[in-house]
Structure 1
């Protein structure tokens, strides 16, 4: 049954993915589909498709969210061997320190005024708590004080959170540069940086083009929350790789949604091919406002350079980049057949 449901729902994670969804529902007894998606690390539409197939088979019902029917309970107990609902705490996402509560409120006030998302650019705003958590995480890993930091795309205002945290901690940042293609954000960041006295340089740049030459090989750290696509990940990390000082131990911080096992192999493989060691991956680190494609969350991947990084993309990039680009390309391919 699990294999059949996976095939009908086109679930790349296969029968094991269906089992994880059923176990999550079993453990919770009643649970919203969005919470199921977050628990198993799949997009909400994918979980909804599996739910639909299980409802057809009388396994799940929507009463009180998602729950097992009597038949479903019998199936998970007798065929899947599940019986225990006890939960234990997992290593989780680091909370915002209490001493930074006021700073988080200050950043939230700024974030409320940022431009609306442009879905054509795969923008999706991270919550204020998430963005400040990123800044704290960078600080904890010696990626801020005296460091040259490149932020590749900044609709979340991560650079602003870094600047505010630096002020709060009374630390001196190195050079902080933002490359951003959205003119609205370039203007907004410029206004905020001037008003708050933040030492951040914002440059209008479409990352389909190479980074400015004076940034190549000059940065200690890069941060990016790239487009949802694998091509977006490869391109943005390539630009970050080009910017790093060519020696061992430089860092990259990448916020990227969980993918199917096959896509994860390709994603992590591309990072390794560029000369990065993924030394830490924290699921659910980033929470987003209404990001259905991501299931509302994405992981934080911390990278360490193993020597001179080798970007997979150099020069101008002409391929599909954003989710909308890939959809148009697939539609064009179908139309040509």
Structure 2
């Protein structure tokens, strides 16, 4: 079968890369008879450039021009077989691609299934900056990936996955391909926490999801077998500058060497000075900011970040490269960077308990689990905090 995208790219050397040609072809597949101006708007291209792409795709045999643009029989077969759109529930897909929150109503039954799965996930380990996003947030990330045309037929990587984004992606794919179809997308997870890896593997096995897990300490470079394989990645890294840079670096090393690939970075809302430092890291890594969605992420019990965080969608460029290709030995997690000793008072008996790296217990979660040393009550109030 002809590689229409490659043939067109040879004729129209786009600075935007091959991915925009793929997006152009998919828009014509999803919207037969679409005007050239509308395709240009959807793929964010000037009309003359969109017209040049259209002409080359027509010449290659993938499109034909009528009252609008539509795929030929060969173009349809290419999108379905090669790009992975065969066997899709097209009505559901079109509904989910619309902006807004219609997906919450349309996938209400899936959210109910996910509630059960998410309620049984392992307890977070705050020492490595884990926090649980809500079920809706996890599925919303998967919807974002779908709308970005970075899911169907793609290889997706989750760099750390205590939010079970891999499970959300897998369940969404299963719903979109009700009869199995030609579903070719694959989802990989890398994480240091064996508890989450084991749990994701069990959920994937029970639900027949296309997920593969790899244990990896991100302080070390990724295994060579994972380099240059993926079309996008998700990460919700430690909320330190070096943590963000390290997780980004590992994810970038796993991406294919192409322009325009997506990076879905979840991060806390930060001060202007910290945000500037983040943006400088993006520049040094050779990635551009495509979109910033405030309050996109909602977390359970993450008061330190106000229970909400932003979604930053980044794009690769010709200059994209890992900022930290070697082993990392500096402070990484919030607790390492800002060690504190906190004192909590039991709400029942007023017993004081010190929590922190030099306290009786390391985290408030551990204290709540064990209960007050005197009366075993599990509710406390913070009365003091001291930086070590």
Equivalent residues of 1:249, 1:307 under 8 A apart: no
Q: Deviations over 1:73-101 (max 9, x none)?
A: xxxxxxxxxxxxxxxxxxx9856431111
- Matched residue, 1:21: none
Is residue 168 of structure 2 the alignment partner of residue 161 of structure 1?
Answer: yes
Is residue 219 of structure 2 the alignment partner of residue 215 of structure 1?
Answer: no
Shift of 1:327: 1.9
Q: Deviations over 1:191-232 (max 9, x none)?
A: 111111111000111111111211111111011011111111
- Matched residue, 2:244: 233
Name which one, 1 or 2, has greater alpha-carbon Rg.
2
- Matched residue, 1:248: 259
- Matched residue, 2:302: 291
- Matched residue, 1:144: 151
Q: Could you state the TM-score of these two structures normalised by the residue count of structure 1?
A: 0.69
**Map 1:270-309 → 2, pairs under 5 A:** 270-309=281-320
SS in 2 for 1:192: helix
- Matched residue, 2:79: none
Alignment counterpart, residue 125 of structure 1, candidates 126, 132, 154: 132
Query: What is the root-mean-square deviation in Å for CA atoms of aligned residues?
Result: 2.1
Alignment counterpart, residue 206 of structure 2, candidates 187, 195, 207: 195
> 2-side partners of 1:288 and 1:217: how far apart?
31
Alignment counterpart, residue 327 of structure 1, candidates 338, 348, 352: 338
- Matched residue, 1:266: 277
Shift of 1:274: 0.7
> 2-side partners of 1:155 and 1:134: how far apart?
14
Unaligned 5+ segments in structure 2 are: 1-98, 342-356, 359-386
Q: Which has the higher contact order (CA 8 A, sep 6+)?
A: 1
The structure-2 alpha-carbon separation of the partners of 1:224 and 1:94, relative to structure 1 and needing over 3 Å to count, comes to: farther
The structure-2 alpha-carbon separation of the partners of 1:268 and 1:94, relative to structure 1 and needing over 3 Å to count, comes to: farther
SS in 2 for 1:97: helix
Equivalent residues of 2:133, 2:298 under 8 A apart: yes
- Matched residue, 1:19: none
The structure-2 alpha-carbon separation of the partners of 1:257 and 1:93, relative to structure 1 and needing over 3 Å to count, comes to: farther
Equivalent residues of 1:135, 1:165 under 8 A apart: yes
Shift of 1:329: 10
Equivalent residues of 1:246, 1:308 under 8 A apart: no
Whose strand proportion is higher, 1 or 2?
Answer: 2
Equivalent residues of 2:295, 2:310 under 8 A apart: yes
> 1-side partners of 2:221 and 2:207: how far apart?
30
SS in 1 for 2:107: helix
Equivalent residues of 1:94, 1:133 under 8 A apart: no
> 2-side partners of 1:295 and 1:106: how far apart?
27
> 2-side partners of 1:162 and 1:289: how far apart?
20
Equivalent residues of 1:237, 1:311 under 8 A apart: yes
**Map 1:41-190 → 2, pairs under 5 A:** 94=101, 96-170=103-177, 172-190=183-201
Q: Deviations over 1:144-187 (max 9, x none)?
A: 11111110000010000000000001172433110011111111
The total of aligned residue pairs comes to: 243
> Which 4+ runs in 1 deviate beyond 6 A?
329-332
Equivalent residues of 1:163, 1:199 under 8 A apart: yes
- Matched residue, 1:317: 328
Equivalent residues of 1:130, 1:287 under 8 A apart: yes
SS in 2 for 1:107: helix
